[in-house]
Amino acid sequence: MIDALTCLAGVALVQALGAMLRRGTPFFQALRSPASAWLGIAVLYAASLGLPGLLLLAAGVAAALVLKGAADRPLPAPMLALVVLAVAVLARPWVPTYWDEFVWLAKARLESLGFGAGLQAALDPAQKVIPQGYPPLWPAAVGWLSLGRDALGAHVLGATALLLLCAASAIEVWQARLKTSLLPLIAVLAAPLVWVHLRATYLDLPVGLLGLALLGHLLQSEGRPSLVTVAMAVALVAIKDDGLAHVLAATGAALAFGASRSWRQAVPAVVALIAVGLWKGLAQQHGTAAVDHAIDGFAWQWIPTLVKLFALHATDVFSWGGFWAVALAALVWPDPRLRPLRAMIVLLALLMAGALLIGPERVRVFAENGTLLNRLLLQLWPAAAAALLMRAQSARV
């Protein structure tokens, strides 16, 4: 019980910090918005970097000045749906059950040594923190939501709370567009692998959900996105290297197909790129650069294998049921409302494929023999699910 209360207090504190930073929105209205938490998390991340974090904070302040006057109108979150989701997700053993959970939760323990200790350990080659050079925000944020408590249950709950924040942020901004009936919802949720990852603390599904939330906020921003989008973009790239692909894809989709197009839509991406450069520079300076994500030529000859592997994984009914077949049918339907989602999915797929083709050979070997491509499909699932539900809604009108 103490672990649950600790994490609840941690979420409340981060949410309150984000709500206070959400200028132009009444405090209690911002407090009810799940997206507010990302402002708090982004500021804590910048602070955890120490003096180099001042550059990221300065970029955030500059973005706030550029985006001054942005419309920031949080929608009332569907509390019943979120409570049902939280109960379903939390009904799991509060211990690690899969390989990567042990990795991320072990690193979350470092925050019990002090604020920012996890990040400093990740930059110290002598600590041999794995995977080397990976963005440090996820385990650090788990430690923050656990209020520095060194307890396994607290860390599992903290990581689960982060996943739920990603899901709630996506649902909050897309709920008005995705009112749907039971049958399409069943088609979306009848994907076994999604339920496995909803009840795990892997990073792929949260990144996909947060990327979808970012796209939703950019589309409703009327050409001048709010500071929440900047915080989400920073969080995405600080959680996982793949997060940059989501930021770029969401930005490209909004610029190409948003109702209100403006150069200001690219401001969150610019700040995210600064965050990426800052972390990569620190990792390079300390000798902890991520070798798995290094550029190593372009493997043209592997393109047919990549296409075949994606097809094999997407059509595996034990992992996905019939989701990808139904989603593909929805995506190719000529519905103008689907253009932003369609563009984001295509851009994401191209960026992911490009990263595999220019990366080290051992990563491609892992993709052929491991779970990598299914995890990339999990990152695509939120946007594809939104497209399916939106298409189903259009078909009923």
Q: What is the pLDDT of residues 227-274, one digit of tens each?
A: 999 999 999 999 999 999 999 999 999 999 987 778 899 999 999 999
Closest by CA to 223, choosing from 253, 248, 259, 257, is 259
pTM of the full structure? 0.95
Tell me phi and psi for residue 116, to 5 degrees.
Answer: 85, 0
How many Cα atoms are found within 13 Å in the side-chain-facing hemisphere of 390? Answer: 22
- C-beta separation of 89 from 198 below 8 A: yes
| Segments making up each domain of the chain, as ranges | 2-396
| Phi then psi dihedrals of residue 301, to 5 deg | -65, -15
Confidence band for 279, pLDDT divided at 50, 70 and 90: very high
Per-residue confidence at 396, pLDDT binned at 50, 70, 90?
Answer: low
Tokens of residue 263, six digits: 């150069």
Alpha helix positions (H), 109-203: 117-122, 137-145, 152-174, 182-189, 192-198
Work out the angle at residue 37's Cα, subtended by the Cα atoms of residues 236 and 163, and round it to the nearest 5 degrees: 60
Contact 218, 250 (CB under 8 A): yes
Amino acid at 105: L
The mean of the pLDDT values for the chain is: 90
pLDDT at 225 over 60: yes
